[in-house]
Structure 1
């Protein structure tokens, strides 16, 4: 990936893996052991049904959670979902309740200690959820080499990741492998830390800053190029929150670098010549999103209201699991006199969005929402 500065060529991949394994397997034993606020940065208030699902996760699993956002895409019932860098499985067990007994969640991680904790509580959670057989499994492997871990091409409806991609020394391979194992129309929905500029080689070599999700962070504009190179649709920004380091010594080392926690959604789309603008009506039938579906910072679909979408978003919606929840009309074909909502005019720069949200007097009520009853995946 010449020119993007994202492969960290001056760092040995093996040494990065060993450092991260040591940091998350030996140095960190619980969330309170973190040296900065980066890996526990909140995004938006958590919806009640998601809080309930999180509350059903065993305390030993939750206490070892290290994440920077809420990764709960909408319409999950019956889906096959993969969690990259699952750790002790908090998000896997939360999402296993939302995909339901007919869905399935796979977690992959390279840290033996974390996987040992995750596997220990499979039976506990299945009994608590009332499932006859497990709908969760955990795989040891690297997120850059999913094929070596035995993960099948074109198998998953959705891939999530929570503050893990920044820990990888080879982010291009992470995106390539994610693209490979997704179904056509599938989605990579992930939260991660991003930097305001490319981080220097000197800071990348700092083990604590890397382990705390900061010095391995992508410059946010490099994500756009990586996604295009791999074949994903242009990333759609969902949320962004400023990261406060909270450690004076490390803040001094970081100097002028700034960081945000941002959630993006990327889609693996079929080739299509039909990418014209469209009018879209959301039916309001996704559980948890009955009044509105917040797709990204630009598009919020209110139930039974006509919304104009550009060709790129129309192609995403027609090709993805959301297609069954929407009615499409060619632009200009709406009923005379019916109001057609326009998308927001917003910046896709996560730093600008984070600043806007930080300065806002009222924050939006929810982050992602997800269906626990209505099936969107086949």
Structure 2
């Protein structure tokens, strides 16, 4: 019975975002919130180079742009009309490549229409962007090859797919070792009851299909990913009283996580690390996740899991490493006693501590999780 139910959900999502919603003002929740962090200047500059006919079809979703993108191969799950792809195109450069995949044919065709315009505008001799019409849980059917991408991004699309584990399995398959999935999505404080799952509006509003946040780690590690690394989190509120009453004790949060696919190497050990600086847009300070902000030249004591991620990913060249407790010289910022800190993994805890509840149309940046460009 799963297949017919999944097909019905796909159809409902397409109808909700294609016909029911006309503008973001029609949304019943603030799942479309501004990001917890300001959009860096280099990303804002890249946005200015995207054609207005592309940006005008981008209905409130925020940017999901990780760091250190030069020459990378990137896959965007649920690319819509291609705004993020054209931003990323500039950041990876001519030697990199960006692939966007979306189930909505009209959106993909719009994205393709402006391919030549953007390549000429960016000064590229050959296109470094490709668009594919397909579902994000069917990457193999779409011809996406095994271990072909350095980074996969997704902005509040996975929650709209019934089989989330299949999406993550496909992402794991197409990522290179050392690669990561950097994604925003909506999570629930408990297992979502069936009456919420079956509610078409709540599913379309990114709540009905939300994953219980603890299940993300279970699914991810079952597939082979490292434990999820929490980056940011915002509480979601519901403006519609009728819908709010249906939710009961179930709360929702919009959160960004990083999932790394690492090679099976030696057991992870604590390390002291020093950020060398120089990553574009993060030259002096790299906010890696909710637990670690690395300042140029400063010694930081990290757990074995974090050390393994840094040593085996594209960030390896940006850090100096030494065994924990050893003497590591740094240009500045070295503290005599490096404290062991509690790792925050609960997005609700982070959202509450940060007091990041925001109004639905708060100014000052790109929107957060949902919008009309949904894919599957």
Per the normalisation by structure 2, the TM-score is 0.88
Change (3 A) 1:16 1:258: same
What's the counterpart of residue 71 of structure 2?
Answer: 78
Aligned partner of residue 250 in structure 2, secondary structure: coil
Q: Mean alpha-carbon deviation: is it higher for 76-85 or for 33-42?
A: 33-42
Q: What is the deviation of 1:54?
A: 1.9
What's the counterpart of residue 270 of structure 1?
Answer: 263
2:200 to 194, 203, 207: 207
What's the counterpart of residue 349 of structure 1?
Answer: 346
Higher relative contact order (CA 8 A, sep 6+): 2
2:335 to 331, 336, 339: 339
What's the counterpart of residue 211 of structure 2?
Answer: 218
Change (3 A) 1:67 1:262: farther
CA distance in 1, matches of 2:174, 2:355: 36
Aligned partner of residue 321 in structure 1, secondary structure: coil
Q: What is the deviation of 1:366?
A: 11
Please give the per-residue CA displacement for 1:263-282, whole angstroms capped at 9, x wherever unaligned: 00011110012411111111
Per the normalisation by structure 1, the TM-score is 0.88
Q: Mean alpha-carbon deviation: is it higher for 114-123 or for 167-176?
A: 114-123
Q: Write out aligned runs for 1:143-182 (5 A).
A: 143-182=136-175
Q: Mean alpha-carbon deviation: is it higher for 50-59 or for 308-317?
A: 50-59
CA distance in 1, matches of 2:107, 2:91: 23
Q: Mean alpha-carbon deviation: is it higher for 34-43 or for 300-309?
A: 34-43
Correspondence 1:299 to 2:296: no
- 8 Å contact kept, 1:67–1:163: no
Aligned partner of residue 73 in structure 1, secondary structure: coil
Please give the per-residue CA displacement for 1:346-377, whole angstroms capped at 9, x wherever unaligned: 531101110111179xxxx999xxxxxxxxxx
Q: Write out aligned runs for 1:237-276 (5 A).
A: 237-276=230-269
Please give the per-residue CA displacement for 1:287-321, whole angstroms capped at 9, x wherever unaligned: 11111111111111110111111111111111100
Point out where structure 2 has 5 or more consecutive residues left out of the alignment: 358-363, 367-376
- 8 Å contact kept, 2:103–2:133: yes
1:34 to 27, 35, 41: 27
Q: What is the deviation of 1:239?
A: 0.5
Correspondence 1:325 to 2:318: yes
Q: What is the deviation of 1:238?
A: 0.4
- 8 Å contact kept, 1:57–1:93: yes
CA RMSD of aligned residues (A): 2.4
What's the counterpart of residue 316 of structure 1?
Answer: 309
What's the counterpart of residue 374 of structure 2?
Answer: none
Point out where structure 1 has 5 or more consecutive residues left out of the alignment: 1-7, 368-378
What's the counterpart of residue 112 of structure 1?
Answer: 105
Q: How many residues align?
A: 356
Please give the per-residue CA displacement for 1:242-261, whole angstroms capped at 9, x wherever unaligned: 11222233222223321111
Q: What is the deviation of 1:119?
A: 1.6
Aligned partner of residue 94 in structure 2, secondary structure: coil
Change (3 A) 1:241 1:334: same
Q: What is the deviation of 1:68?
A: 5.5
CA distance in 1, matches of 2:192, 2:266: 39
Correspondence 1:52 to 2:45: yes
CA distance in 1, matches of 2:329, 2:109: 61
- 8 Å contact kept, 1:78–1:100: yes
Q: Mean alpha-carbon deviation: is it higher for 57-66 or for 190-199?
A: 57-66
- 8 Å contact kept, 1:69–1:192: no
